[in-house]
């Protein structure tokens, strides 16, 4: 009767050679109970020993044998314990790489409960799950780059790679393996043969990562969006000698090459699960003994970094912790996650956008950190000359074959050949509604100001841009976001539209009688709300997950005041409301104060990674932080969302510099004032549209906000509105022009607030500067601080004061307008240019500081000057009264002298 070797992967036979090596063969024990134990020890599903089943002596420990007699016998009751299991057989017992389809399904289930998986999946690609067959097909596709090699295999020899592939495929999906082998007749080894193959399944990262990376490059949509699972489980102490690899296993092994003497009692397994496409891949495992939560976190962040470096887009990590080790809450919070109980879902922040060229990945990191361009924005504004996946492939091979100095020079060549210069995707655009002599010019008395206003009117032509059709056709080759209508850009490095800048641009355009251009820009914003649910900071993909101060409804108000186009309003009112809801859903927070709860808004951008357009600055700023890098980067983005990037306004009390930026802890006066004005405008719009229910809904929202602004932001001692800090539970007493924006927004219900605030301004040292109202009184070197002054802030303060009805306020308003116009005019005379910001301290100088050179152009500065000339055209002068007297004397002196002589 033939013998059956019962042990998995055992190839020993009764041969002379084996007998010479001392290998003996042993029948299964007669005793039922002992026999059962042997069967279990074999880990063969459904296996029952028959009379002919045998085990060779290599599956027993030395001490299991009684060698006293002539025949080598097994001692009574011993159980075989030495096996070289393939990893997929280890799963039920110890350190298995969880590869069965059930693991995947369970994962889906647990995520489903938390409500995260579905949401992420939809957010990522918006598709639903597919059927079983499709799953199988996908598994096969997953390996498609290896199929050609397989079909080409000749002869009986299986190469190492080939064996590794076969083992990995079998591990990954036995059904797929069977299908390939039996239905498609791939020359794959029989699963039994496979059992004899040794596999390099050592702890640490395995080759799956490489395969995934290849897959991801080929199909970013399907493979770029992944979930990283970390599973920790207890294992039985089990030290074994593996004759195939001639090594011992069972000790602590972190895959770092260090030999440990402790026996492993725990296994950590990392599995990458495709959120789109139903695939999963075990990518790493570690054997350890009571791993500290901190080390677990280190391993997890390495795994995340690995994904990041290999250009995987979105990822979440789900952590199942072993019982009784550490506090899940503490561990998860270091990753910015929230947990409950022993199971927690750590959500890694999404990157600024999904592009593995413009927003995440090794290419972005390498180019920006090589500092090839003076301004990081240069690289992320370049278009691609080829598909993203081909460009990434080229980059990978460049990296592989070049290091050190050679890399930078090769990178430059690569950028020259694979990328287009910034701006090639847009063309200059002459606004068709541009007019030589808008009515506004005739209202300006000072001839020099009149000429200047005419120059500014001409500037619209140089700031007009139309996005080329190719951006619409091949969006993934451009960082520029497609919008249907041409735009007026700020200028300089800002080659795309900016959200809040456009409010002052549109106001200026309306004064220049260019209402079609203004309307086109508003339509673009409506299109963006419709498409993305928010208006991005600016017209680039790297701005897509953050916005800017919400001016859309107020822009529409400017347009409506000018054009009275009720049809346009009624066609788009829903989108105005949709944008409002974005802010209320994603940027609101409940502020508990003195026993009441108030709903107010803040800037908050839960998005990870450095800002792509300022990558190296952000990266270096956070470089020495042991934890909290992601948090700092998110806070910097929130500051950018405020439009005040950067400012002492967002610094925390304990750290008064850029590293201390904690924007999301601040309830900003200006944001809430702007939303007050949005709510008031929506009430007005709905009344005009005779939609009373909606009007009263927004009236209620407005009333509630006015109450909340009063309770939380009004400070009766200081006599003005102040930012409220959620961490310190206190108001920031520093001067900022934003403290006065509620006047502009009419976000109060009692005139006495205005009177007090006017007195506050009049007595504030900030008011004394002859070149305008500074952004703050702190000189931090940041651009939204002293000594810089910005057009939008001057405008909101001046227009607010002007409309209060108080004479004192109107006087202050005019005085500020005169200072601002004069400063801008003097700088214009000196540099023949308009700037984005100005210096209140030094005469005739633009502003400075911050992370980039001061820019010329400049959209909002032009718009604000035109607005002030419209408001006070008959009174404003190009120089101060003293200066104008002197210049009058100088002009008229020769005439006087001639009369005299
Ligand atoms: O590149 C750095 C930052 O540049 C922009 O901010 C500044 O310019 C914008 C356009 O004029 C303006 O809206 C903003 O208030 C300025 O601080 C950009 O908006 C930022 O997101 C970007 O990080």
The predicted-structure confidence for 859-872, as pLDDT tens digits, reads as follows 999 999 999 999 99
Q: Write out pLDDT tens, residues 276-289.
A: 555 677 778 788 88
Cα–ligand 1 centroid distance for 538 (angstroms): 8
Reduced to 3 states (helix: H, G, I; strand: E, B; else coil), residue 466 is strand
For ligand 1, is residue 12 a contact (CB within 6 Å)?
no
Mean pLDDT within 668-697: 98
For ligand 1, is residue 501 a contact (CB within 6 Å)?
yes
Please enumerate in sequence order all residues whose Cβ is within 8 A of that of 352, keeping only pairs 6 or more positions apart, or say none. Answer: 359, 360, 541, 542, 543, 544, 545, 546, 607, 609, 611, 612, 637
Among 27-31, 68-72, 815-819, which range has the highest average pLDDT?
Answer: 815-819
Asked if pLDDT for residue 317 goes beyond 70, the answer is no
pLDDT at residue 413, as a whole number: 96
Mean pLDDT of the chain: 83
For ligand 1, is residue 613 a contact (CB within 6 Å)?
yes
Reduced to 3 states (helix: H, G, I; strand: E, B; else coil), residue 66 is strand
Give the model's confidence band at 12: pLDDT under 50 very low, under 70 low, under 90 confident, else very high: confident
Catalytic residue among 164, 306, 331, 836: 836
For ligand 1, is residue 121 a contact (CB within 6 Å)?
no
Q: Give, for ligand 1, the residue of 353, 645, 856 to mutate: max count of ligand atoms closer than 8 Å to Cβ.
A: 645
For ligand 1, is residue 500 a contact (CB within 6 Å)?
yes
Mean pLDDT within 19-35: 83
Q: What percent of the chain has pLDDT over 70?
A: 79
For the CA of 494, the nearest atom of ligand 1: 10
For ligand 1, is residue 737 a contact (CB within 6 Å)?
no
| E strands, 212-265, in order | 226-234, 240-242, 247-249
Q: Write out pLDDT tens, residues 30-43.
A: 888 888 888 888 87
For the CA of 783, the nearest atom of ligand 1: 17
pLDDT at residue 151, as a whole number: 41
From 861, 862, 863, 872, select the one nearest 818 (Cα to Cα): 872
How many angstroms separate the CA atoms of 799 and 276, rounded? 51
Cα–ligand 1 centroid distance for 314 (angstroms): 25
How many angstroms separate the CA atoms of 778 and 735, rounded? 9
For ligand 1, is residue 538 a contact (CB within 6 Å)?
yes
Give the model's confidence band at 136: pLDDT under 50 very low, under 70 low, under 90 confident, else very high: low
Give the model's confidence band at 195: pLDDT under 50 very low, under 70 low, under 90 confident, else very high: low
Cα–ligand 1 centroid distance for 682 (angstroms): 28
Between strands 226-234 and 315-320, the pairing is parallel
How many angstroms separate the CA atoms of 165 and 167, rounded? 5
CA-to-CA dists, residue 139 to 133, 135, 162, 189, 536, angstroms: 10, 6, 17, 18, 37
For ligand 1, is residue 609 a contact (CB within 6 Å)?
no
Q: Give, for ligand 1, the residue of 505, 538, 545, 854 to mutate: max count of ligand atoms closer than 8 Å to Cβ.
A: 538
Identify the residue whose C-alpha is closest to ligand 1 atom 12.
643
Weakest mean pLDDT among 20-34, 384-398, 489-503: 20-34
Asked if pLDDT for residue 331 goes beyond 80, the answer is no
Sheet with 724-725, side-by-side order of all strands: 666-667, 724-725, 730-731
For ligand 1, is residue 504 a contact (CB within 6 Å)?
no
pLDDT at residue 224, as a whole number: 67
Please tell me which residue, 57 or 814, carries the higher pLDDT value: 814
Identify the residue whose C-alpha is closest to ligand 1 atom 17.
645
For ligand 1, is residue 643 a contact (CB within 6 Å)?
yes
pLDDT at residue 675, as a whole number: 98
Please tell me which residue, 529 or 266, carries the higher pLDDT value: 529
Q: Is the pTM of this model over 0.95?
A: no
For ligand 1, is residue 847 a contact (CB within 6 Å)?
no
Cα–ligand 1 centroid distance for 369 (angstroms): 21
Helical segments of 361-485, H only: 362-369, 376-380, 388-401, 404-418, 447-463, 469-473
Cβ contact 827:460 at 8 Å: no
Identify the residue whose C-alpha is closest to ligand 1 atom 21.
640
pLDDT at residue 147, as a whole number: 37
Angle at 373 between CA 354 and CA 304, to 5 degrees: 35
Identify the residue whose C-alpha is closest to ligand 1 atom 22.
640
Mean pLDDT within 342-368: 80
Strand partners, 263: 251
Phi, psi of 536 (to 5 degrees): -65, 155
Identify the residue whose C-alpha is closest to ligand 1 atom 23.
640
From 678, 696, 689, 693, select the one nearest 744 (Cα to Cα): 678
Q: Write out pLDDT tens, residues 83-102.
A: 766 443 333 322 222 222 22
Cα–ligand 1 centroid distance for 642 (angstroms): 9
Please tell me which residue, 623 or 121, carries the higher pLDDT value: 623
Give the model's confidence band at 69: pLDDT under 50 very low, under 70 low, under 90 confident, else very high: confident
Q: Let me know if 707 is a catalytic residue.
A: no
Cα–ligand 1 centroid distance for 69 (angstroms): 88
pLDDT at residue 256, as a whole number: 73
pLDDT at residue 26, as a whole number: 87
CA-to-CA dists, residue 696 to 583, 585, 684, 691, 704, angstroms: 19, 20, 10, 9, 12
Weakest mean pLDDT among 54-58, 696-700, 756-760: 54-58
Catalytic residue among 557, 579, 645, 679: 645
Q: Let me know if 645 is a catalytic residue.
A: yes
Cα–ligand 1 centroid distance for 445 (angstroms): 35
Cα–ligand 1 centroid distance for 646 (angstroms): 9
Q: Write out pLDDT tens, residues 166-175.
A: 776 676 567 7
Identify the residue whose C-alpha is closest to ligand 1 atom 14.
643
For ligand 1, is residue 611 a contact (CB within 6 Å)?
yes
């Amino acid at each position: 009767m033939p013998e059956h070797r019962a042990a998995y992967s055992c190839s020993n036979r009764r041969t002379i050679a084996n007998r010479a090596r001392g290998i003996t063969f042993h029948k299964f024990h007669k005793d039922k109970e002992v026999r059962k134990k042997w069967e279990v020890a074999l880990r063969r599903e459904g296996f029952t020993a028959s009379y002919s089943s045998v085990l060779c002596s290599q599956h027993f420990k030395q001490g299991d044998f009684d060698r006293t007699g002539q025949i080598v016998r097994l001692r009574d009751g011993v159980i075989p314990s030495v096996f070289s299991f393939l990893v997929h057989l280890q799963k039920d017992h110890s350190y298995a790489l969880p590869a069965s389809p059930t693991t995947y399904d369970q994962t889906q289930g647990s995520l489903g409960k938390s409500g995260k998986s579905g949401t992420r999946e939809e957010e990522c690609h918006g598709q639903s799950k597919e059927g079983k067959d499709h799953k199988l097909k996908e598994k096969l596709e997953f390996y498609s780059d290896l199929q050609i090699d397989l079909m080409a295999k000749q002869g009986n020899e299986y190469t190492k790679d080939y064996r590794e592939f076969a083992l990995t495929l079998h591990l990954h999906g036995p059904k797929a393996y069977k299908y390939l082998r039996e239905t498609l007749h791939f020359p794959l080894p029989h699963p039994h043969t496979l059992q004899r193959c040794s596999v390099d399944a050592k702890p640490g990262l395995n080759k799956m990562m490489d395969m995934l990376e290849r897959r991801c490059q080929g199909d970013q949509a399907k493979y770029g969006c992944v979930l990283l699972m970390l599973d920790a489980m207890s294992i039985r102490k089990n030290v074994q000698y593996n004759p195939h690899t001639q090594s011992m296993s069972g000790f602590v092994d972190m895959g770092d090459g260090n030999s440990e003497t402790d026996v492993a009692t725990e296994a950590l397994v990392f599995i990458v699960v495709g959120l789109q496409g139903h695939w999963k891949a075990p990518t790493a495992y570690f054997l350890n003994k009571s791993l500290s939560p901190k080390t677990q976190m280190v391993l997890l962040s390495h795994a995340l970094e690995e994904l990041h470096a290999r250009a995987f887009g979105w990822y979440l990590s789900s952590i199942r912790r072993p019982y009784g080790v550490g506090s899940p809450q503490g561990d998860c919070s270091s990753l910015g996650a929230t947990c409950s109980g022993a199971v927690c879902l750590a959500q890694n922040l999404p990157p600024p956008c999904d592009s593995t060229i413009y927003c995440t990945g090794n290419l972005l990191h390498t180019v920006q950190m090589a500092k090839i361009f003076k301004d990081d924005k240069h690289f992320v504004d370049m278009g691609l000359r080829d598909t993203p996946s081909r460009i990434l492939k080229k980059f990978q091979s460049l990296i592989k074959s070049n290091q050190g100095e050679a890399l930078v020079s090769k990178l430059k060549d690569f950028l020259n050949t694979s990328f287009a210069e910034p701006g090639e995707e847009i063309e200059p655009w002459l606004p068709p509604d541009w007019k030589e002599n808008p009515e506004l010019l005739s209202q300006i008395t000072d001839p020099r100001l009149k000429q200047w206003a005419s120059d500014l009117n001409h500037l619209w032509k140089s700031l007009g841009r139309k996005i080329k059709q190719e951006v619409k056709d091949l969006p993934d080759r451009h960082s520029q976001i497609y919008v249907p209508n041409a735009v007026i850009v700020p200028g300089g490095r800002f080659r795309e539209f900016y959200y809040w800048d456009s409010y002052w641009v549109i106001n200026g355009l309306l004064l220049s009688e260019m209402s079609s251009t203004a309307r086109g820009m508003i339509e673009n914003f409506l299109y963006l709300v419709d498409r993305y649910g928010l208006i991005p900071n600016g017209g680039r993909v790297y701005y897509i997950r953050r916005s800017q101060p919400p001016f859309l409804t107020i822009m529409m108000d400017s347009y409506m005041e000018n054009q009275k186009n009720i049809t346009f309003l009624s066609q788009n009112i829903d989108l105005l409301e949709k944008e409002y809801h974005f802010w209320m859903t994603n940027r609101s927070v409940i502020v508990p104060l003195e026993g009441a709860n108030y709903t107010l808004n803040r800037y908050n951008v839960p998005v990870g990674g450095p800002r792509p357009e300022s990558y190296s600055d952000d990266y270096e700023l956070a470089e020495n932080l042991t934890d909290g890098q992601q948090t700092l980067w998110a806070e910097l983005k929130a500051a950018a969302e405020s439009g005040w990037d950067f400012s002492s306004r967002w610094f925390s009390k304990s750290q008064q510099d850029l590293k201390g930026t904690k924007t999301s802890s601040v309830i900003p006066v200006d944001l809430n004032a702007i939303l007050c004005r949005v709510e008031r405008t929506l009430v007005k719009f709905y009344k005009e549209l005779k939609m009373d229910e909606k009007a009263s809904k927004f009236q209620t929202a407005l009333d509630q906000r006015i109450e909340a602004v009063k309770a939380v932001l009004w400070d009766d001692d200081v006599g003005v509105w102040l930012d409220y800090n959620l961490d310190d539970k206190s108001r920031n007493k520093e001067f900022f022009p934003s403290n006065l924006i509620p006047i502009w927004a009419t976000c109060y219900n009692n005139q006495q607030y205005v009177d007090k605030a006017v007195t506050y301004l009049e007595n504030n040292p900030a008011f004394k500067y002859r070149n305008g109202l500074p952004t703050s009184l702190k000189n931090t070197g940041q651009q939204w601080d002293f000594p810089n002054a910005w057009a939008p802030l001057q405008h909101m303060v001046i227009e607010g004061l002007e409309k209060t009805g108080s004479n004192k306020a109107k006087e202050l308003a005019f005085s500020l307008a005169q200072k601002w116009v004069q400063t801008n005019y003097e700088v214009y005379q000196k540099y023949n240019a308009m700037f984005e910001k100005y210096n209140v301290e030094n005469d005739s100088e633009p502003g400075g500081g911050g992370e980039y050179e001061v820019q010329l152009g400049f959209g909002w500065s032009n718009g604000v000057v035109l607005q002030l000339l419209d408001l006070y055209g008959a009174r404003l002068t190009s120089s101060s009264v003293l200066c104008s007297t002197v210049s009058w004397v100088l002009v008229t002196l020769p005439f006087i002298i001639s009369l005299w002589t």
